Amino acid sequence: MPLVHIHLIEDRRDAAAVRRIADVVQEVLREHFAAPPRDRYQLITEHKSGHIIAEDTGLGLDRTDDIVLIQIVQQGRTSEQKQATYRALAQRLHDECGLNGNDLIVSVVENTQADWSFGNGVAQFLTGDL
């Protein structure tokens, strides 16, 4: 049940390009992260220039305002699934959206079934509804 936050710099891409990034992310999660069909929860935030500060962490990565920062909140994925997802995101976003690999940052955050309510104040995983 991934919840995906996609952060971009505003006015760098048109609406169709932003949607294509979101679609690629969803496709990769279905293929490599075992995201179920129709399980799409994405928040796309466009920030003003200068409002994403992403240094290279000493890796020598040159970043531009084309940066895409993706945070995936999830439960139960293996290290292998995460690494396959990172690779596939970099490759597909490059091939289909023209994103330079230096401008992609991905962070995965763990949570549990008790950390989700999909409506009506009910923890559906815990009640057995999901």
8 A C-beta contact, residue 76 and residue 112: no
Point out the catalytic residue in the list 1, 2, 35, 68.
Answer: 2
For residues 6-26, one letter each, b for 16 or more C-beta atoms within 10 angstroms of the residue's C-beta and e for the rest, the string is: bbbbeeebeeeebebbbebbb
8 A C-beta contact, residue 73 and residue 2: yes
Phi, psi for residue 10 in degrees, rounded to 5: -65, 155
Concerning whether 36 is annotated as a catalytic residue, the answer is no
- Round to whole Å and give the CA distance between 109 and 22: 18
Helix ranges (DSSP H) in 59-106: 79-97
Residue positions annotated with a catalytic role: 2
